[in-house]
Amino acid sequence: MPALLSIGTVLRSRYKIAEFISQGGMGAIYLAEDLRLDGRTCAIKEMWTSTDAGPDDLGQIQLQFHREASILARLDHPNLPKVSDYFAENSRDYLVMDFVAGKDLKQLMEEARGKQEMLPEQRVLDWAKQILDALEYLHTQHPPVLHRDIKPANIKLTPSGTIKLVDFGLVKLMVADEDRTVTVLQGRGTAQYTPLEQYGGDTGHTNVRSDIYSLGATLYHLLTNQAPADAKSRYLQPDVLRPPSELNPELSPRVEAAILHAMAMHPAERPADVGTLREELLSSQPLEPIVDKVIVQVRRRWADAIRKNALLLLLILMLLVAALVATLLSPYLSASLSAGAAF
């Protein structure tokens, strides 16, 4: 793992590293002082490249980084940190963005858990409104922008009460002439919030519904104090995901249904877009259509499972019938054997 930057290091003759903030497997984030704008501080994200990458790979990675960074720099939304600069120095790539003060939602959730409390549903829904606004803005860009790492630790609540969706380390740009996306920055997301299709990495079929899954998993965690089972575990054992209301009996049926719909395993079974999820989660429409959607999807999955395993189920049924017949006939067989022995 590359060495961290020293406090006092000046990048691009402008950004003076003032404090280390955090570190991940593919980079680090620092608080820096802008030497050109007196009094301004900013967050600098440093991206590391695999040591196994060859010269051609390094050139492609840097080209992709600059392509994505230029897209991020054009984004302007109150619930997203503003990217103001990007550059390469000493074979490392850097993003400069607004420093977002405040606590992330993971910290707030852990504080509530420490008090043996749940975060109030209405408070979480107020946060969700702002997250949905940010995602809708990202998804309606040309080309659409995917975040791919939505989780409580990547959502900050500022002292003024504004939600900021931070850490663009996994943003992807959807290519218009292909039904797939092209990865630009390294990373794979966090297991509990990552949909199954995203496990394919760069070749995975991801779209806006991948972010919808991650948001559903995030809301599940915030409202239950328990991270949901990851998608791989759910694929192998479909009933491993506990209903949110089982963990938080105060949860409203509408919110539970919307979360489970967002967390459907197959992308086609999730809400088609952020607007649809907002309608299910926050509107005053009757609950029945939302619940019906989830029920229909569950029934469809069961039907698919039965169809794919028809021969196995038939064999099990025949064995059960044989066992039942043997059980019913056993008294008569015993009597016949006893009568035969008497002779």
Using left for φ > 0, alpha for ψ between -120 and 50, and beta otherwise, residue 63 falls in alpha
Eight-state DSSP code of residue 200:
G
Give the C-alpha distances (Å, rounded to integers) separating 116 from 110, 112, 246.
9, 6, 16
* Contact in structure between 70 and 143 (CB atoms under 8 Å): no
Query: What's the pLDDT tens digit per position in 76-121?
Result: 999 999 999 999 898 889 999 999 999 999 999 999 999 999 999 9
Query: What's the pLDDT tens digit per position in 51-69?
Result: 566 667 677 777 777 877 8
Options 149, 167, 211, 230, the catalytic residue: 149
Q: In what order do the strands lie in the sheet with 15-24?
A: 10-11, 15-24, 27-34, 41-47, 92-98, 83-89
Amino acid residing at 113: R
Query: What's the pLDDT tens digit per position in 137-175?
Result: 999 998 888 888 899 999 999 999 999 998 755 455 554
Model confidence at 300, in pLDDT bands (50, 70, 90)?
low
Dihedral sign of CA atoms 128, 156, 84, 24 in order: negative
Structure tokens at 1: 């793992």
* Contact in structure between 33 and 44 (CB atoms under 8 Å): no
Residue 186 has pLDDT above 50, yes or no: no
pLDDT of 181 reads 39
Buried-exposed string 142-152: b where 16+ CB fall within 10 A, e elsewhere: eebbbbbbbbb
* Contact in structure between 162 and 198 (CB atoms under 8 Å): no
Q: Which helix (H) or strand (E) holds 243?
A: none
Buried-exposed string 21-50: b where 16+ CB fall within 10 A, e elsewhere: eeeeebbbbbebbbeeeeeebbbbbbbbbe
Q: With pLDDT > 90 as the criterion, what percentage of the chain qualifies?
A: 55
pLDDT of 309 reads 72
Domains and CATH numbers, the chain: 10-98 (3.30.200.20), 103-288 (1.10.510.10)
- Whether residue 211 lies in the annotated active site: no
